[in-house]
Amino acid sequence: MRLFSSGERVHLVNAKGDHYPLTLKAGALFQFSGETIPHDAIIGLEDGSEITLSRGSRFFVFKPTLAEYTLHMPRGAQILYPKDLALICMWADIHPGATVVEAGIGSGALTMAMLNAVGEKGRVISYEIREDFARRAVANIEAYLGSAITTDRLLVRQQDIYEGIEEEEVDRIVLDLPEPHKVVPHAVTKLRSGGIFLSFLPTVPQVELVVGALRKEPAFSEIETFETLLRTWNIDGRSVRPDHRMVAHSGFLTTARRVKRLPKKEFTVRPEEGPLPEKETIEKEQI
């Protein structure tokens, strides 16, 4: 059984599905449209419990999922949508024990998703040149995953990844920044063979640049670009229709695989063998 404690981040959800984030604090009071409830009345309850405010309004109290938390957490920079976070972790194959280099950290949404995926034995190294973004992201991450994670599994480097990557033989490089094509040469030397390069970009010209940079490098193969659209549906008896609003284009994902190619063989004719037969002669012999 999981019980709420003081200092924990929870979401109060009403009948309409509206979320109200709340950090529990002993002795504090939650207020909503003239109604109140003491935090102490929530502390000690089980996750998913229903509560009643002073005038009868009812809410469920949940430990927010990562998707819910990222949509409602304080922001320093624009966040990635949960649909993109899920696909990034899948297409980049962020697995337990992996070492992942990312840039930039933004508000921390993608970082949290990857920290969950790499598990206790993995690491995420985040390059972020803006101190205010890094500070906001670390606060969001610690509020959801705990302060120990920024000591054990997350390293934030206030450095420009365009100038280079310090880590060697990393498993994955994941980029959410405007010019990922500038990182491609560094990825050639720092990404292990079989490793995955992934970038998230909002516009086609940016995608053209990064795909062009990847194709120029023999060290990369399996280059692919795609986008995803998320549309929810309204189900009410026999009234079944798509919702009027949807999360359509948010960005393009481009992935590539680091490879080791065999050296190209050079075919030469030894003097004693004479010249190669003419094309016409070869065709007659084959007939």
Cite the annotated binding site for S-adenosyl-L-methionine by residue number: 107-110, 128, 160, 176
User: By the 8 A CB rule, do 100 and 165 touch?
Assistant: no
Residue ranges for the known binding site are 107-110, 128, 160, 176
User: By the 8 A CB rule, do 8 and 39 touch?
Assistant: no
User: By the 8 A CB rule, do 94 and 117 touch?
Assistant: yes
How many residues are recorded in the chain? 287
In whole angstroms, how far apart are CA 68 and each of 17, 65, 87, 108?
11, 5, 16, 14
Q: If you count DSSP H runs as helices and E runs as strands, how many of each does the chain have, helices first?
A: 8, 15
**Helix ranges restricted to H, 127-237:** 131-145, 149-152, 184-190, 204-216
Listed in sequence order, the residues at least 6 apart from 127 whose beta carbon sits closer than 8 Å to its beta carbon are 101, 102, 103, 104, 105, 157, 159, 160, 161, 165
Question: Going by DSSP bridges, is the β-strand pair 252-258/233-236 parallel, antiparallel, or unpaired?
Answer: unpaired
Which candidate, 209, 165, 211, 212, places its Cα nearest to that of 187? 165
Phi, psi angles (nearest 5°) of residue 222: 55, 45
As given in the structure block, the two tokens for residue 232 are 């929810």
